[in-house]
Amino acid sequence: MSGFIKEMEALKREKEAAAAPPPPPPPRVVTAVPPPAVVTAPPPVAPPPVVTTPPPQTVQTTAAPAGKGSGKLVGGLLLGAAALLAGGGGVMLSSSWSDYNRGRKLFCPGNSECKAIADRVERKALIGKILFGAAAATGIAGGTVLVLSFSGGSSSASRGMSLALEGRF
């Protein structure tokens, strides 16, 4: 009998197990899904300030009419400067001749001062030559400006200075 009871208890358990609702499923583990990353655009960059420059101002100029005789004045001044330079050169050369003659009277060469006298003569002669060269260049420029300043009338004044050369070779 004891076997019969055991069988009966096993049947009873089976019926109860079949009649009982199935056990609830194990709780589902829900992992939280992170919200999708929100990508926001950087704040709009303000456009660089527009720098407006004022339009360039144009100034219209007209050439002043050439004063009569301005070329003559410049030419005359250049010729005067050439005369002054030539005068300075003459003074320096005459001073060097004076020093040369003084050295001859002191019986150069042979005197102890001859070297110093010779140096002074050379220095003064060089300065005189430089002044004469500058006088020549200034005189040529002044003469050229003076010759070109004489215009042949009002027609050449509107065209500017002109020079015509003619010759047969």
Asked whether residue 114 is domain-assigned, the answer is: yes
Asked whether residue 57 is domain-assigned, the answer is: no
Asked whether residue 104 is domain-assigned, the answer is: yes
Question: Are the C-beta atoms of 137 and 115 separated by less than 8 Å?
Answer: no
What does the radius of gyration of the chain's CA atoms come to, in whole angstroms?
A: 60
pLDDT in tens, 84-136: 999 999 999 999 999 988 888 877 777 777 888 889 999 999 999 999 999 99
**Which tops the pLDDT comparison, 70 or 23?**
70
DSSP 56: P
Asked whether residue 167 is domain-assigned, the answer is: no
Asked whether residue 20 is domain-assigned, the answer is: no
**Which tops the pLDDT comparison, 27 or 99?**
99
User: What is the number of domains present in the chain?
Assistant: 1
Question: Are the C-beta atoms of 81 and 142 separated by less than 8 Å?
Answer: yes
Helices (H) and strands (E) in the chain — how many of each? Answer: 4, 0
What's the rounded Cα separation, in Å, for the pair 79 and 149? 14
- Could you list the residue range(s) of the whole structural domain that residue 118 is in? 70-150
Burial class (CB in 10 A: 0-12, 13-18, 19+), 91: middle
Asked whether residue 25 is domain-assigned, the answer is: no
Q: Hey, which of 23-37, 46-60, 101-115 has the most confident mean pLDDT? A: 101-115
Q: For all residues of the chain together, what is the average pLDDT? A: 79
Asked whether residue 105 is domain-assigned, the answer is: yes
Asked whether residue 123 is domain-assigned, the answer is: yes
pLDDT-based confidence at residue 38 (cuts at 50, 70, 90) = low
For 148, the enclosing helix (H) or strand (E) is: helix 114-149
